[in-house]
């Protein structure tokens, strides 16, 4: 019965949109006081502690491990297109699957200078996607080689030899591989 009186009091303050008298909430409170009711009457007082809403996730883009950081040079778009279509040959491939970080870094630091000295220009470095399945339909990325190889290629030992780095096309391994373009060998 009490809810009916409250509903009637609220209904009297509602106007059609075209004939709205006031958007002031004080009018509603005054109408409720005239009806002899408090706005929160009948409701138990909530004394539980109030917590701030959880912060929203960052809007900054998350860089996937296979993506090349913005400070790194990427290879020319036309060259990448030719590589993905198979029109440009890949001079050498290095597969780092199953290696530890130390083994992979040592292999990379031997491979790149040897190929640069030989005159090769385009390399395919296979890191693997490094995806570890944690349960049904759940996947957790743990690809340490996938994230470390671009950093190693930009280290002072290899950076003078590297002209650009880009994630490989799906036909060459997709997110689990990188195209590495080496600088031209200087003729003396």
List, for residues 78-132, the tens digit of each pLDDT value.
888 888 888 888 888 899 888 888 999 999 999 999 998 888 888 889 988 877 6
pLDDT of residue 68: 44
CA distance 127 to 68: 14
Mean model confidence pLDDT for the chain: 76
CA distance 96 to 5: 76
Q: Which of 160, 186, 185, 173 is nearest to 84 (CA)?
A: 173
Per-residue pLDDT band for 39 (boundaries 50, 70, 90) equals low
Phi, psi torsion values for 161, nearest 5 degrees: -95, -20
Total count of residues recorded for the chain: 188
CA distance 14 to 6: 13
What class is the 77-182 domain? Answer: alpha beta
Per-residue pLDDT band for 140 (boundaries 50, 70, 90) equals low
Locate 47 and state its tokens. Answer: 């004394």
Locate 3 and state its tokens. Answer: 């809810």
Per-residue pLDDT band for 41 (boundaries 50, 70, 90) equals low
Ordered by start, the domain boundaries in the chain are 2-34, 77-182
- Of residues 47 and 116, the one with the higher pLDDT is 116
**Residues paired with residue 145 on neighbouring β-strands, in sequence order:** none
pLDDT of residue 66: 42
pLDDT higher than threshold 60 for residue 12: yes
Tens-digit pLDDT profile for residues 145-181: 888 889 999 888 888 999 888 888 888 878 788 888 8
- Its pTM stands at 0.56
Residues 6+ apart with CB under 8 A from 148: 101, 104, 105
Per-residue pLDDT band for 30 (boundaries 50, 70, 90) equals confident
């Amino acid at each position: 019965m009490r809810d009916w009186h409250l509903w009637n009091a609220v209904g009297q303050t509602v106007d059609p949109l075209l004939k709205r008298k006031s958007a002031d909430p004080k009018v509603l409170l005054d109408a409720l006081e005239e009806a002899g009711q408090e706005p929160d009457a009948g409701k138990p007082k909530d004394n539980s502690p109030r917590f701030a809403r959880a912060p929203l996730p960052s809007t900054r883009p998350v860089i996937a491990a296979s993506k090349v950081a913005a400070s790194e040079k990427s290879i020319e778009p036309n060259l990448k297109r030719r590589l993905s279509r198979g029109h440009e040959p890949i001079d050498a491939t290095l597969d780092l699957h199953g290696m530890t970080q130390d083994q992979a870094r040592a292999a990379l630091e031997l491979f790149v200078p040897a190929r640069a000295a030989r005159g090769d220009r385009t390399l395919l470095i296979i890191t693997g996607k490094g995806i570890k399945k944690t349960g049904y339909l759940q996947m957790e990325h743990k690809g340490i080689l996938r994230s470390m190889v671009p950093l190693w290629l930009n280290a002072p030992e290899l950076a003078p030899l590297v002209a650009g780095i880009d994630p490989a096309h799906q036909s060459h391994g997709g997110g689990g591989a990188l195209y590495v373009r080496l600088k031209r060998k200087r003729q003396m």
